[in-house]
Structure 1
Amino acid sequence: MNDPAARPGAAAGEELVRLASADNFRDVAGPGLRTADGVPLRAGVLYRSNELGLTDEDAATIAGLGVRAVYDLRDRHEVEAHPDVEVPGAANEHLEVRGIPMDQVASLATVQQADDVMHRVYRGFVEHPGGRAAFAALLGRLADGTEPQLFHCTAGKDRTGWAAALVLHVAGVAWAEIERDYLRTNDRSAGTRRKYLGMVREHLGEELVEVYERVMVADAAYLATAHDAALAAHGSLEGYLREGLGLSTTELDRLRARLV
């Protein structure tokens, strides 16, 4: 099934697909996302998510969307602790990117410390060789795909958020719209965030709720840190994609053609 418009879920609209066991699962094309010159993105092609601790019903739903490849951006320890539930008919590939360091999170005492950790994480997406290799591999796989694909990390906001931002940039979406879409995680995952902050309140105290919330939210300033690091190192996002990730014009054109 090579015509994206004919794929399951492409015409229905991603807002109709809400998974009980993966609340940040969504179509990369997003509701209302268009290129800077007004062309709507093609839905039903690429999906993004938080970790896939799926119920059988939700796994079947993803399979029903035609997803045939799942790319897991979590680090080895995250994968071992919470392995993906298999999506029937989909191959799973691990492309490791360093996420939020839990040893540093455990010792957080102030909002500033939490913000500092998150900015280091986002700079690392651009500056760390392993991260660049993983994001390069991911975008290359997405460009080469002919059927729907899914990529995810743990919360579906940081590593997945940067990857989705790059894909949308390649598709020609304006940065302001990319930022708006990135922030949708805060609405999609509000229930999960409230649950974990309730645990912080119960076990660590009210004074640390605001601190830990900083590592649980998508913040435009975090995304800007990765964006600015790419510009500082390569002059532009195009330079980062071509020089930093080593993607060819052909690969970028193929990726763009999948969504536009």
Structure 2
Amino acid sequence: MSEPQIGEELVRLASADNFRDVAGSGHPTADGGRVRRGVLFRSNELQLTDADAHSLGGLGITAVYDLRGAREVEAHPDVPVPGAAWHHLAVGGIPMDEVAALTTGEKSLAAMHRVYRAFVEEPDARAAFGALLTRVATTDGAQLFHCTAGKDRTGWAAAVVLGLLGVPDEVVVEDYLLTNTFSSATREKYLGLIRENLGPDKVEVYEAVMVADEAYLRTAYDAVAASYGDLRGYALDGLGVAPADLGALLDRLRE
């Protein structure tokens, strides 16, 4: 296995092991309410078994938003979810050639922090996240968004939604870090392949891009604070979500 292949194959090894409800078990909000379950779902890429595809169809999902780049989509197209329209809203992650070229854990960490800053600072990323929030607000039925691992692009989008809903910061962070639990078997299997094929010194290099880390999330929050003040300012001014659509989004997701 060559290093470029390692970069290209940073994908889930199971059928949607990071699929879950954005609401969790009904996350609490600052106003004493709860986030409504069964409305908005998140996932890693939809390399689904037939049984899993039909299970998702049974949830009443009407729209799937794929946040992956064109190369990722081409390499691993989603399995269709019955009854759901597929929409491509590309957000850049770490370019695969950059992943393959990483040589130290420090460089991996620096790359991850750049990615999270880009979620806030890059116009294309803001446009895609803005379109996601607007479509969720204005589309009927349950909806699902995902990227490749369901960790970074998806993790940031979920954190923004939960933060806008007034879910306490510590709950948002706990929810974000659940990726490390949901995807633990996949991650360990993949790191084992890296150890076997590239050597134990490469485990630290690639592990940093395979885990959710609160420090990454804080980097994005810091960028929001610097440019927009808070998440509401980020949504309205950075992502271009109309005030009425933001209100509709929050109404849909609050019990």
TM-score (norm 1): 0.91
Q: Does 1:39 align with 2:39?
A: no
Match of 2:101, SS state, is coil
Q: Does 1:91 align with 2:85?
A: yes
Listed one character per residue, the Cα deviations across residues 112-150 of structure 1 (whole Å, up to 9, x for unaligned) are 100000000111111111000000000000111220000
Residue identity matched to 1:158: D
Question: Residue 207 of structure 1: CA displacement?
Answer: 1.0
Unaligned runs of 5+ in 2: 1-13
Q: How well do the aligned residues superpose, as a CA RMSD in angstroms?
A: 1.0
Separation in 1 of the partners of 2:142 and 2:229?
Answer: 32
Listed one character per residue, the Cα deviations across residues 38-62 of structure 1 (whole Å, up to 9, x for unaligned) are 3121100000000000000000000
Corresponding residue of 1:76: 70
Identity of aligned residues (%): 62
Bigger relative CO (Cα 8 Å, ≥ 6 apart): 2
Corresponding residue of 1:211: 205
Structure 1 stretches of at least 4 aligned residues deviating more than 3 Å after TM superposition:
none
Question: Residue 31 of structure 1: CA displacement?
Answer: 2.2
Corresponding residue of 1:176: 170
Separation in 2 of the partners of 1:258 and 1:32?
Answer: 14
Q: 1:14-29 maps to which residues of 2 (within 5 A)?
A: 21-29=15-23
Corresponding residue of 1:232: 226
> How many residues get paired?
241
Question: Residue 32 of structure 1: CA displacement?
Answer: 4.5
Q: 1:69-218 maps to which residues of 2 (within 5 A)?
A: 69-218=63-212
Separation in 2 of the partners of 1:76 and 1:99?
Answer: 11
Match of 2:64, SS state, is strand
Separation in 2 of the partners of 1:116 and 1:101?
Answer: 14
Listed one character per residue, the Cα deviations across residues 188-220 of structure 1 (whole Å, up to 9, x for unaligned) are 000110111011101110111122110000000
Listed one character per residue, the Cα deviations across residues 136-179 of structure 1 (whole Å, up to 9, x for unaligned) are 00000011122000000000010000110111112221222111
Is the CA contact (8 Å cut-off) linking 1:35 and 1:173 kept in structure 2?
A: yes
Question: Residue 185 of structure 1: CA displacement?
Answer: 0.4
Match of 2:60, SS state, is coil
Unaligned runs of 5+ in 1: 1-19
Match of 1:157, SS state, is coil
Match of 2:189, SS state, is helix
Is the CA contact (8 Å cut-off) linking 1:21 and 1:55 kept in structure 2?
A: yes
State which drifts further: 217-226 or 235-244. Answer: 235-244
State which drifts further: 21-30 or 164-173. Answer: 164-173
Corresponding residue of 2:4: none
Separation in 2 of the partners of 1:38 and 1:160?
Answer: 26
Corresponding residue of 1:220: 214
